[in-house]
A and B are shown apart, each in its own frame.
Chain A
Amino acid sequence: MKFRLLLLLPLIGFLALALFLYQGLSLNPFQRDSALMAREFPAFELATLEDAERRVDESLLATGELTLVNVWGEWCPECKREMPQLLDLADRGIRLVGISYKDTREKGLGFLDEFGNPFEVNIFDPEGDLAFDLGVYGAPETFLVDADGVIRYHHTGYIAPDQVRDTILAEVEKWR
């Protein structure tokens, strides 16, 4: 009799596995961590959007101050909707650096004129090389870089108004 019950083990195992895998179906694959989490901001050397003569590199992000790096483009409608939230974050004294992603200089500057400029400086990345090294697969995306230039948080997609406090400010406090 005992032995018979033992034969149920594979079935129980199968059910457990099925339940585990079934749970996986409801996971959102876009809420995965960035591959660059806890790694240093990738090396780069690019001009700024504001001044073609000014070259910046990764030392821009290891200044001893926490920075939010936002990847945006003039062609990206979600980026426009996100600007009020970014301006709000800048008003709260957080340092923001922009990456002008796959834009022309003209369109990028026009975007900042129209929607406001919360960024201390914008890195001009027309080919998307830096964004590629950051593992950006759409815009907008926002990275939280700590005082030592290490990536601590990655937000993919639009930052909604209620996420400013609940998500972004919470992460800023955590890593400040």
Chain B
Amino acid sequence: MALNRFRCAALPLALLVLMLLASATSHGAAIEMREFDDPVLEQRYDSLTASLRCPTCQNQAINDSDAPVSGDMRERVYQLLQDGRSDIEIRDFMVQRFGDYVLYNPRLEGRTLLLWGLPGALVLLGGVLVVFIVRTRRKASASKLTAAERARLDALINGERSE
């Protein structure tokens, strides 16, 4: 019985796996495989093509897009890596031609200071605010009661007890 149930589940599962595999390979077919002698270069190629944005797509990295311009850009990244250029040089090369739009991580410069700085500044501001609030609350609760307030408090407590 248990085995039967397992068989029932196994067939659709196997089909699903097959379909996923098929879709993965058909998707990858549009994007060429490249040979690298050096695994470090391959890693840099992967991370560069994952962090450069296709200029004509809505929101795709060039390693995920079959647009012609993405193919050209991957080709250039590959060539420039073979020429021994650094990651920064390659990114600059692309920005010179296609603009800051192609960077998924905007560079830290005058124009992007607000973008990078605002989150930190807001966290700092929030922290200062919390410290300020906690301090004023603590001060308020620690302040001494006046004689009249103490008498009233005693009266209330005693009154509750006698009930």
Residues of A within 8 A of B (CB): 3, 10, 13, 29-30, 32-36, 102, 128, 132-138
Contact = CB atoms under 8 A, between A and B. Distances in A.
Q: Give the interface SS of chain B, mostly helix, strand, loop or mixed.
A: helix
Q: Give the interface SS of chain A, mostly helix, strand, loop or mixed.
A: loop
Interface in B113-136: 122, 125-126, 129, 136
Given A10-B126, A128-B72, A134 B56 contact: no
B97 A138 contact: no
Interface of B: 55-56, 58, 67-69, 72, 76, 95-101, 122, 125-126, 129, 136
Contacts of B69: 136-138
B155 to A, nearest CB: 30
Contacts of B99: 32-35, 135
B56 A137 contact: yes
8 contacts: A29-B101, A35-B95, A35-B96, A35-B97, A134-B97, A135-B98, A136-B69, A137-B69
A137 B126 contact: no
Contacts of A133: 97
Contacts of B72: 128, 132
Nearest to A35: B99
B71 to A, nearest CB: 10
A32 B56 contact: no
Contact of B98 (A10, A30, A102, A137): A137
Nearest to A136: B69
A124 B68 CA distance: 18
A133 B97 CA distance: 6
Most chain A CB neighbours (cut-off 10 Å) among B72, B100, B129: B72
A33 B132 CA distance: 46
Contacts of B122: 13
Contacts of B101: 29, 32
A22 to B, nearest CB: 17
A10 B100 CA distance: 31
A54 to B, nearest CB: 26
A135 B100 CA distance: 12
A34 B76 CA distance: 19
Contacts of A135: 55, 97-99
A29 B101 CA distance: 9
A135 B69 CA distance: 9
A32 B72 CA distance: 21
B73 to A, nearest CB: 8
B42 to A, nearest CB: 23
Contacts of A30: 56
B65 to A, nearest CB: 11
